[in-house]
Homo-oligomer: A and B are copies of this chain.
């Protein structure tokens, strides 16, 4: 079975075999996998080969290992995909602008998504935000944007957004000023009305307030 065409890279076969085992045993997220020694015996390979395969899957975020306990199926919805590449491929974070621009791309897309979806744009959470914006309580900037990106429903986009937020120079953790609240209110209203175009314009107004400069530049 696993002997079909043994490639020159045994550990790659093991990766495939592990997939088979997981599937056959119907393992669910959080379940414990057989120990390295058991796997080595069952697949008739050395333990080091098993480990090379497991470590690869671990770096991918597919499994999780705990010393003294065992190996477990990880929640691959939180794949470290982006993190790995952010530390390896994207070794040139010299362009903070790229980070900010990309973050805005996702924010803008989320706003449009919600505006165009009758269900999402009528969620009660937006009404709650409107009330809070009218009040005097301090509101952190990222609260609103995070809710927007979350509600848009694209988990990968959300993941990327969270990552970029960390690298961003935009002061997302600060509270909103009064005029800022007004712009945010307009943004929400346009979004709830399903007018994605105007909602995006209000979003850009808000950016102007937060950042100050940059208007008229190409907005990439």
Binding site for B on A (CB under 8 A): 8-9, 11-12, 15-16, 19, 23, 48, 51-53, 55-60, 62, 65, 67, 76-77, 79, 81-82, 84-85, 87-92, 94-95, 98-99, 101-102, 105-106, 108-110, 112-113, 116-117, 120, 152-157, 159-160, 163, 218-220
Q: Are B218 and A113 in contact (CB under 8 A)?
A: yes
Contact partner, A102, options B16, B156, B163, Cβ 8 Å: B156
Q: Are B218 and A120 in contact (CB under 8 A)?
A: yes
Complex formed: what's the CA distance from A219 to B112 in Å? 8
Q: Are B90 and A156 in contact (CB under 8 A)?
A: yes
Q: Are B19 and A98 in contact (CB under 8 A)?
A: no
Number of copies: 2
Complex formed: what's the CA distance from A48 to B52 in Å? 9
**CB closest residue in chain B, given A152:** B220
Can you list 7 residue pairs at the A/B interface with Cβ under 8 Å? A53-B55, A60-B84, A62-B89, A90-B156, A98-B156, A99-B156, A105-B109
Q: Are B8 and A87 in contact (CB under 8 A)?
A: no
A71 to chain B, nearest CB (A): 13
Q: Are A102 and B220 in contact (CB under 8 A)?
A: no
Q: Are B101 and A157 in contact (CB under 8 A)?
A: yes
Return chain B residues, CB-CB under 8 Å to A79: 85, 89
Contact partner, A52, options B51, B62, B117, B156, Cβ 8 Å: B51
Q: Are A88 and B62 in contact (CB under 8 A)?
A: yes
Complex formed: what's the CA distance from A195 to B76 in Å? 40
**CB closest residue in chain B, given A104:** B109
Q: Are B85 and A163 in contact (CB under 8 A)?
A: yes
